[in-house]
Structure 1
Amino acid sequence: MSAAVTPPDGGAAGSPVRPETAALALFGDHVLDRRVAVSTGGVVAALGRLGVSEAAARTALSRMGRRGLLRTVRQGRQAFLGLTEHGTAVLHDGQRKLDGEVVDRDWDGRWTLLTFSVPESRRADRHALRTRLGWFGFGPLRSGLWVSTSDADVSATLAELDLLEHAEVFRAEASRWTDPARIAAEAWDLPAIAAGYENFLRRWADGGVEHLGELSRRILLGAEWLLLIRRDPVLPSVLLPQGWPGTPAAALFHTLRHEWARQAEEQAADVLESIVDR
């Protein structure tokens, strides 16, 4: 499958992935839980193989540093990048998503209902809460009412944003005339999520961007998958349309990710100089 080498938005190999997302995938594969820091130049070179310009790569890495995800480790005149505690937690969370299912096979029929009211003076906190609720699999049903089919505990997020006193949570079942499938269709844009999976299947069905090496392919594959599952609340099959494309897409993702693992590791060793990060 052909792809533009250097997209105008600084993305990676014609994909919807931005440099920061590709860098996160790279650190998740080759830095997380390894107690190493990798050379800045090596990371820039690895992203360069995806068509990301040096300027775009360094801007993305600087942004990740400002967000508290990365820290600089110096050895002589050379700069290496290691994960912060926050960065490690973020990547562990993402790794759980990457390794997880796209269909909930253990749903007990109950919903988590979260209602909140945040003062207008705290608009930024309200926006941050909505963003994180989406990551936890919640969808907006009514104004100030979000629902999830999982028993996700968002108390830590609420406490971090100092919003515990502004929110209430309930566990409940649909009753009377309430159709759970209709609730799911209202709370989440299922056609858009399905279209994302269908595009993924078309893009990667033949192995994806054939002109790239396994390291680059695996970075892109993981980054694109992370973008998809960020939007997916992982619903039970009884709430999903027939022929849900997330299932074959997940099978393809895991197959390719495993297939390219060994060669990607060898190529990473060539491009990413590393030091022990204490």
Structure 2
Amino acid sequence: MEDRILDVDAVDAPQPRPQSLVLSFFGNHVLDRGEGDLGVYSGSIIDVLGRVGTGEQAVRSTLTRMVNRGLLRRQREGRKMFFGLTAHASDILRDGGRRIWSVGAVNEDWDGTWTLLGFSLPESWQRQRHDLRSRLTWSGFGALYSGLWIAPGRADVREIVSELGLDAHVKVFHARADEFTDIGLMIRESWDLEALAARYVAFDKRWTTADLASADPIATRLRLVAEWLRIIRTDPRLPVQHLPTEWPARQAQETFRRIAEETAGPAGRMAAELLETTPLRP
């Protein structure tokens, strides 16, 4: 039977952004292959992303934007253009791989510490306030109070604060909660647990009911990894002992790892047949 695109949209699957799919593609099939820096022919990338429903023009414009943002570099060979990872993009992908395979979605080894970040900005700095809150949310912080944010463990926010030029307006502390503090209540008030749990439940339902037997393995794995990484990057990894019982991240992670293992071999073999590559010059 001819391979077909995996139909996960039937269960309200989110469509990953083209850039996320491109990064997932390079992370799966190019990064750390042990053959030096590899460039992949743009036609090969267009073919693979087309298998998950991304059109040629969207892929081409995404590749150009990623070059301009310092995530990809390109090299012309005759009439063909090849794209490879920059050092910055490789670091991003290795961090994502660490989050997926080493750190995981379930925080069972929390040491009881919290990172507290307080800030006070002039009323007129609405854009700076919005940017800081957005970056903190992305980094796993929750709003304890208006100007006091909190994250589990020892979160390093120096780069975020410096990039926004807010060093003089931000104070960071590492602390433990006093015994009379209701940590479970604090977590429920500071993070949207219902929305976070719903993302894990939807992921698990979508992938446990998907028809994998006749699906295109390279497309399946590409979309699987892109979607899972999107979820865990927005997960603050709150201590599981203070979360509702049977927190759905555990079951979702088991589903992800099972399907990732099942598709690794077939997707790798298909990629070896489909992808046209060339060594990149220093």
Q: CA deviation at 1:116?
A: 2.0
Once residues 67 and 127 of structure 2 are traced to their aligned partners in structure 1, the CA distance between those partners, rounded to angstroms, is 21
Give the 3-state SS of the residue equivalent to 2:238 in structure 1. coil
Q: Deviations over 1:134-167 (max 9, x none)?
A: 3332222222221111112121332233322221
TM-score, normalising length: structure 2: 0.87
Once residues 92 and 202 of structure 1 are traced to their aligned partners in structure 2, the CA distance between those partners, rounded to angstroms, is 28
Q: Deviations over 1:6-32 (max 9, x none)?
A: xxxxxxx96432222111111111122
Q: CA deviation at 1:86?
A: 1.9
Once residues 141 and 178 of structure 1 are traced to their aligned partners in structure 2, the CA distance between those partners, rounded to angstroms, is 13
Once residues 121 and 71 of structure 1 are traced to their aligned partners in structure 2, the CA distance between those partners, rounded to angstroms, is 39
Q: CA deviation at 1:131?
A: 3.4
- The answer to whether structure 1 residue 136 and structure 2 residue 139 are counterparts is yes
Once residues 66 and 30 of structure 2 are traced to their aligned partners in structure 1, the CA distance between those partners, rounded to angstroms, is 15
Runs of 4+ in 1 over 6 A off after TM superposition: none
Matches within 5 A, 1:1-278: 2-3=7-8, 15-34=14-33, 35-99=37-101, 100-119=103-122, 123-175=126-178, 177-207=180-210, 211-277=214-280, 278=282
- Structure 1 unaligned spans of 5+: 6-12
Conservation of the 8 A alpha-carbon contact between 1:24 and 1:91: yes
Q: CA deviation at 1:71?
A: 1.6
Once residues 77 and 119 of structure 1 are traced to their aligned partners in structure 2, the CA distance between those partners, rounded to angstroms, is 54
Moved more, 148-157 or 36-45: 148-157
**CA 1:183–1:265 in 2, change beyond 3 Å: closer, same or farther?**
same
AA aligned to 2:143 is: P
Q: CA deviation at 1:129?
A: 3.5
Conservation of the 8 A alpha-carbon contact between 2:108 and 2:241: no
**CA 1:115–1:217 in 2, change beyond 3 Å: closer, same or farther?**
same
Once residues 214 and 65 of structure 2 are traced to their aligned partners in structure 1, the CA distance between those partners, rounded to angstroms, is 29
Give the 3-state SS of the residue equivalent to 1:28 in structure 2. helix
**CA 1:90–1:117 in 2, change beyond 3 Å: closer, same or farther?**
farther
Give the 3-state SS of the residue equivalent to 1:111 in structure 2. strand
Conservation of the 8 A alpha-carbon contact between 2:13 and 2:206: no
Give the 3-state SS of the residue equivalent to 1:260 in structure 2. helix
Once residues 98 and 204 of structure 1 are traced to their aligned partners in structure 2, the CA distance between those partners, rounded to angstroms, is 17
Q: Which has the higher contact order (CA 8 A, sep 6+)?
A: 2
Q: CA deviation at 1:64?
A: 2.0
Q: CA deviation at 1:50?
A: 1.0
Q: Deviations over 1:54-76 (max 9, x none)?
A: 12222222222232211211112
AA aligned to 1:29 is: N
Moved more, 98-107 or 228-237: 98-107
Q: How many residues align?
A: 271
Once residues 260 and 28 of structure 2 are traced to their aligned partners in structure 1, the CA distance between those partners, rounded to angstroms, is 11
Once residues 141 and 125 of structure 1 are traced to their aligned partners in structure 2, the CA distance between those partners, rounded to angstroms, is 19
TM-score, normalising length: structure 1: 0.88
Once residues 128 and 33 of structure 1 are traced to their aligned partners in structure 2, the CA distance between those partners, rounded to angstroms, is 34
- Structure 2 unaligned spans of 5+: 1-5
**CA 1:274–1:131 in 2, change beyond 3 Å: closer, same or farther?**
farther
Q: Deviations over 1:70-128 (max 9, x none)?
A: 12111122101111222122222222222222122222222110112345666555444
The alignment yields a C-alpha RMSD, in angstroms, of 2.3
Give the 3-state SS of the residue equivalent to 2:106 in structure 1. coil
Conservation of the 8 A alpha-carbon contact between 2:111 and 2:153: no
Paired-residue identity, % = 43
Give the 3-state SS of the residue equivalent to 2:21 in structure 1. helix
Give the 3-state SS of the residue equivalent to 2:53 in structure 1. coil
